[in-house]
Amino acid sequence: MAPPLLFSISLFLFSLLHCSTTTAQSPAAAPAPPGPTNITKILEKAGQFTVFIRLLKATREDVSLNSQLNNSNNGVTIFAPSDSAFSGLKSGALNGLSDEEKSELVQFHIIPTFLSTSQFQTVSNPLTTQAGTGERLELNVTTSGNSVNITTGLTNTSVSGTIYTDNQLAVYQVDKVLQPIDIFTPKPPPPAPAPKTAKEKTKAADSPTVAKDASGALSSIVHYNLVLFGAGIVAAAIFSF
């Protein structure tokens, strides 16, 4: 039988070794990302969002978003279209947009409040976006189980993944560009002017402008005839010699 002192020392060494092994195997907490929230860096890290990043920078919506996130407690939800989503647009669709329309398109993908995936089940439609409200800017969200579906009247797509969330900012991937009717539906041309009535035509003919034009034309004819008449007299005089 081992002496009590030796047994106690052995038990202490075993406990110390076991404690050290358990501590070494515990995962370390991931450090918080350094610096203020930056939407373009989040998208760059996720990859496959180069077109959306380019639009954010070109319209300076990234500056507005970063300022809002870092200088207030206001939440933001972003539906970020992937590069493949933009490739699904008609050729030249983006190049044909004005700067104002590009800003509106980006803002149409931004909800000025934080929405978790569970909150989509109780949200009221239509959603208010940064682009504003109105029938031609409606964005509706419905859920079916864990699926979140988005419709605009022109686009029907689903949230395909969560890119980032921190309880103030939520960024979700969508595989189609959310097309607002306000931009991508051709606006009706202005109505053609009504044909003039017979009375209007008569009035136009009697107007001073028309009379002046007619008088000018008559003067030109008379002048031309006088020139011809004078030339005839000169010719006759020459041949008489």
Backbone angles phi, psi at 52, to 5 degrees: -65, -40
Q: What is the pLDDT of residues 4-20, one digit of tens each?
A: 544 444 544 444 444 43
pLDDT confidence bin for 235, thresholds 50/70/90: very low
pLDDT digits (tens, 9 = 90+) for 52-93: 999 999 999 999 999 999 998 889 999 999 999 999 998 888
Weakest mean pLDDT among 79-83, 135-139, 186-190: 186-190
Strands 169-174 and 76-81: parallel
- Of the two residues 241 and 205, the one the predictor is more confident about is 205
pLDDT beyond 90 at 177:
yes
Structural tokens at position 229:
């008449």
d(CA 239, CA 172): 101
- What is the model's pLDDT at position 219? 55
Buried b vs exposed e over 222-232: b needs ≥16 C-beta within 10 Å?
A: eeeeeeeeeee
pLDDT at 210: 47
Report the pLDDT value the prediction gives residue 103, as an integer from 0 to 100: 95
Q: Is the Cα torsion angle 201, 202, 204, 210 positive or negative in sign?
A: positive
157 residue type, one letter: T
Q: How many CB atoms lie within 10 A of CB 136?
A: 15
DSSP bridge partners of 78: 110, 171
